[in-house]
Structure 1
Amino acid sequence: MTIYLTRHGLREDWINKLWRSTALRPSDPPLSARGFHIAKELGIFSKTLGLKHIISSPMERCIQTSTAIADELDLPIKIDYGVIEWVGPNPKPDDILTPLSNEELKLKYPRIDLGYQSTTNVIPTKETIEELHFRTKIAVDQIIKKYKDDGPIIIVSHAATMIALGRGILNDNQAPLRSGVCSLTKFNLNPSQNEWELEYTGKADYMEEGEQSHWTFKRPVIENSQ
């Protein structure tokens, strides 16, 4: 089995600093024009990966990135709240997550699979790093169990969540993973040892500008790996 992790493309509010001031859902910015471009680059490269399933955060920037992949591969998009954005332990009001419902998203993005059962339906209102690791570990373990005989899969998420998902796969909450937008991190299951191995992280050579907007946690994670 193989799992790919990626992060959404460049966000509109990174380019247009006034976007949030008039947005109905300030925590849910779409991709910028450049974000759509690099998502397209990822989508084209994804044709080389043999993907069978696309799992996405419900946030619109992730759905738009997933759509760029799905359009190239003619695959549905499975929305999973277990891989949603991390808002941190003390989010500001504009950071509170307010994604559209799956049904609302389906109207805008027809490739969404309404039959997929998310690993959770809970939208976190605040989370410590430790709680993020706990949430994503549960999610990725359930996803692996569901698709262990039917991969490869790609999970489209956010910087902190993507790092935490990768650490959950490796059972190592200290693993240093790259999180550039639309970059790829690849894990393979070693069947002889029944352990996951990291093949690469932060791969971005298929994008004309290479790695962009890498992010990581500001402080070390001190809890033991579970």
Structure 2
Amino acid sequence: MAACNIYLATQLKTPPFPIVVSPPLHIRTRRPPPPPPPPSAARRHRRRLPMASSDPQADPQRRQHVIVMRHGDRIDNFEPLWVSTAARPWDPPLVEAGLVRAFCTGRKLRDKLGFPIHRVLVSPFLRCVQTASEAVSALCAVDDDDLTATTSAALSIDPSRLKVSIEYGLCEMLNREAIKFPPKDGDWGFDISELEALLPTGTVDHTGERVYKQMPQWEETVLGARARYEQIIVALADKYPSENLLLVTHAVQGKELECQSQHS
């Protein structure tokens, strides 16, 4: 059996864009709770997960790592008038600084984590896909010397290092607290093929099925979104038990998980 640690990766706004990885978080599941940890490991949560039968070489005692990362800087936070002319005001892209921060965060993940990322799961919102594209490029860079760059432009990558998938269940909290200008017809208009084309060539996994087959329902409550986030993270960890995961998602996810970890 493998133990699973879940972390939050925080992109800081001060150069040189360091990364902070929080201690593992406690995520409630339907499984019976584990016994209380010793004082020296009070904030460490271990969850027993089945190993993938297709990986006969896997160490049955290995630890699975799940990193939760927020998207970079979105344009509507810097250009308030952008919304008034945008065709898709609910789906802002990143500003250039956000792309740089995403790449530098991927670079720090590669340099500091001490374990590889095998799979990246991404919210379908454009800002998350752009963030994932930059982070994945840094994680897949062929030459460590290329990591002195601040963006993925002209970077040589090895796409065999990890796989990327878009997962609806990692989307933004679907209510007016998080999305002030939703589509009037309820159609989010995500073209998955176009979004996948933004990711580094050769990294997209077209074989796997999404946990959420479609977007969650609009006007979910904060408690409903919290339950969704907990459920999707556990479901993805269970779906890929022998892989370390990077989940690229939204700010509310980290906030709710932090709240959950403090009160469990």
Q: Given the two structures, how large is their TM-score scaled by the length of structure 1?
A: 0.67
CA distance in 2, matches of 1:40, 1:82: 24
Q: How many residues align?
A: 171
Give, in angstroms, the shift of residue 128 of structure 1. Answer: 0.5
Residue 128 in structure 1 maps to residue 215 in structure 2 = no
Percent identical pairs in the alignment equals: 27
Aligned match of 2:35? none
Partners of 1:28 and 1:99 within 8 A in 2:
no
Residue 56 in structure 1 maps to residue 122 in structure 2 = yes
Residues 11 and 99 from structure 1, CA distance in 2 versus in 1: closer, same or farther, beyond 3 angstroms?
A: farther
Q: CA RMSD in A?
A: 2.4
Give, in angstroms, the shift of residue 144 of structure 1. Answer: 1.1
Aligned to 1:79, which of 154, 162, 166?
166
Residues 32 and 107 from structure 1, CA distance in 2 versus in 1: closer, same or farther, beyond 3 angstroms?
A: same
Corresponding residue SS for 1:95:
coil
Residue 104 in structure 1 maps to residue 191 in structure 2 = no
Give, in angstroms, the shift of residue 61 of structure 1. Answer: 0.5
Aligned to 1:153, which of 209, 234, 245?
245
Give, in angstroms, the shift of residue 51 of structure 1. Answer: 0.9
Residues 90 and 34 from structure 1, CA distance in 2 versus in 1: closer, same or farther, beyond 3 angstroms?
A: closer
Residue 116 in structure 1 maps to residue 200 in structure 2 = no
Partners of 1:26 and 1:95 within 8 A in 2:
yes
Aligned match of 2:14? none
Which structure has the bigger radius of gyration? 2
Give, in angstroms, the shift of residue 92 of structure 1. Answer: 6.4
Partners of 1:27 and 1:95 within 8 A in 2:
yes
Give, in angstroms, the shift of residue 46 of structure 1. Answer: 1.9
Residues 146 and 32 from structure 1, CA distance in 2 versus in 1: closer, same or farther, beyond 3 angstroms?
A: same
Residues 7 and 70 from structure 1, CA distance in 2 versus in 1: closer, same or farther, beyond 3 angstroms?
A: same
Partners of 2:168 and 2:210 within 8 A in 1:
yes
CA distance in 2, matches of 1:59, 1:98: 9
Aligned match of 2:90? 27
Residue 3 in structure 1 maps to residue 93 in structure 2 = no
CA distance in 2, matches of 1:91, 1:157: 13
CA distance in 2, matches of 1:91, 1:52: 30
Residue 175 in structure 1 maps to residue 261 in structure 2 = yes
Residues 72 and 82 from structure 1, CA distance in 2 versus in 1: closer, same or farther, beyond 3 angstroms?
A: same
Corresponding residue SS for 2:261:
coil
Residue 142 in structure 1 maps to residue 235 in structure 2 = yes
Residue 95 in structure 1 maps to residue 178 in structure 2 = no
CA distance in 2, matches of 1:88, 1:161: 14
Deviations 1:30-60 (A, max 9, x none): 1011111111110211213321111110111
Deviations 1:81-119 (A, max 9, x none): 111001336776613472522112123334433333211
Q: Given the two structures, how large is their TM-score scaled by the length of structure 2?
A: 0.58
What is the identity, as a one-letter code, of the residue corresponding to 1:57?
Answer: S
